[in-house]
Chain A
Amino acid sequence: MKQSPQDKNLEAMLRSGKLAAGGFMGSDLRSSAEVISADAAALNALGYTAVQVAARMQELRDLARPWMGNWVQASAVLRVKSEDYKGFIVCPWPHAGRYEKRITTAERLDTGQSVSWTDLNIHLILEHGFFEGRDAFFRIDPEQFIKVVF
């Protein structure tokens, strides 16, 4: 498919290290549109939507935040913590969007599996359906995420 100049700029931004070390695409050679489409299909097959995933991320983040980086029980088998780091990060899409550097981690007590996400991940999933490319540092694998937090 032919890319517009805007699409090309976005692809370049997602693959560059301008905003995040290593970029948002990792080693993924697919276009961001292909990554988004594949993750949407995977979610659909699992019976969830990007909105539900983002809402759950937000809910767990908000539960953990008042505990300032300490673990808090979200359920009998799930604990979460949310840690703040210095600075902020902006959305690579060309619009307003600046997010504090905050990493929320959810861990299953029964299986030991865990997933981590940033406030920017929540925005990227909610507004752009983007879970990041393969091997990207903050790539959210839909299947893994659902297995741990739902």
Chain B
Amino acid sequence: MAELFISVLVISGIAAGLALLLVLSEKTFQNYGPCKIVINDKKELTVEGGKSLLASLKAEKIFLPSACGGRGTCGVCKCKVLDGAGPLLPTETPFLNPQEQKDNIRLSCQVKVKKGLSIEIPAALFDIRLYQARFAEATNLTYDTKRFRFQLVEPATMNFTAGHYVQIACPVYKKGIEEVSRAYSIASDPKDNRFIDLIVRRVPNGICTTWMFDYLKAGDAVELVGPYGEFRLSDTQSPMVFIAGGSGMAPFVSILHQMRNVGSTRKAEYFFGGNGVRDLYLHEQMAEFEKNLSAFKFVPVVCKPSPEDNWQGQTGLVTDAVRKNFTDLSGHEGYLCGSPGMIDASIKVLIGLGMSEKNIYYDKFS
């Protein structure tokens, strides 16, 4: 019995010794010391080596977009690494097409900073900041869609352009969930920049929307990062066709606020599609925009209204309504936000009606 006890003790001692050796060797051999990161050949940062490029940049308040919190599962945090990243890792290749691989695009969450790095990122990312905010209130828009309002705390305002999006950090709200970030278009007035409104549709069993719909309480502290994005109105005076469905409404609310703020007289027709009447929302706000914008028209479209809906508006797919309402869209610009399927179908219709592909701007859900 004593022999058995001694054997267990000896084996445990050896295991503990090896673990200690491993920890010490990690600290010694993986201590990369200070490493220099050169950004766009202009800016230089000195960071402590050993962390991922994504985390190192974040620590220096440079926020590359990322949805999975750096676990290498979303493929969003791409950036060009000109030097110092080492060979491409198997964890990166699934997310990079051959051209991106040739162009030295890497997943910043997978690139470890071990020595000096030279990278290229869009200059606009220097304006991205982390905002501490408080959840103010949620408004039911439909049976599965809500508008969430956040009051910015620090910094207390965010300067964004209508069409921009923010990332919201979803914390660990129950066992087994890990922190993730999700991107949502801003749905608020750029002039009232103390608040950020997001329009969110519940994703069945979705990690972030479950938190937002079921766990988020008024007054809760929330982290937002942004503003990101390139979806925005052009500077031309070309007439516009907006097409959206579901939570794709969000950027257009912000865009219409912006148009009203500057007294825009630019012609815009907004086709918003729902499967039933219950999928439509913000009628009153759209009517208000129609009053305030002389050349704006809101066209809600219901695919299959039921008789009890007593629907008097346009019916069919939103793309059918666009086709019915126009014969020639050359000289127009198209702005689309919604599901990939809706956007692909809309692009086909717009091009078929003569719109130039370069005049079609979209924000796909995926």
Alpha-carbon gap, A97 to B339, bound state (A): 19
Alpha-carbon gap, A86 to B176, bound state (A): 22
Chain A: CB-nearest residue to B175: A17
Contact status of A21 and B74, CB under 8 A, knowing A66-B341, A70-B304? no
Residue of B174, B207, B245, B339 most packed against chain A (CB within 10 A): B339
Q: Which of A8-35 contact B (CB under 8 A)?
A: 15-23
Q: How far is the CB of B281 from chain A (nearest CB, A)?
A: 15
Chain B: CB-nearest residue to A22: B205
Q: How far is the CB of A10 from chain B (nearest CB, A)?
A: 14
Asked whether B204 lies within 8 Å of A137 as measured between CB atoms, the reply is: yes
Any chain B CB within 8 A of the CB of A108? no
Alpha-carbon gap, A98 to B94, bound state (A): 9
Alpha-carbon gap, A66 to B182, bound state (A): 27
Q: How far is the CB of A134 from chain B (nearest CB, A)?
A: 15
Alpha-carbon gap, A27 to B204, bound state (A): 18
Asked whether B203 lies within 8 Å of A87 as measured between CB atoms, the reply is: yes
Q: How far is the CB of A8 from chain B (nearest CB, A)?
A: 17
With contacts A19-B73, A85-B206, A98-B95 known, what are 19 further pairs, Cβ within 8 A? A15-B176, A17-B176, A21-B177, A68-B273, A68-B303, A68-B318, A68-B339, A68-B342, A69-B339, A70-B317, A84-B341, A85-B203, A85-B365, A87-B67, A87-B182, A97-B94, A98-B74, A101-B366, A137-B205
**Could you give 5 example pairs across A and B, Cβ below 8 Å?**
A18-B71, A84-B342, A85-B203, A87-B365, A101-B366
Closest 10 pairs (CB-CB, A-B): A96-B94, A84-B339, A17-B176, A137-B205, A17-B177, A86-B365, A85-B203, A70-B303, A21-B207, A90-B73
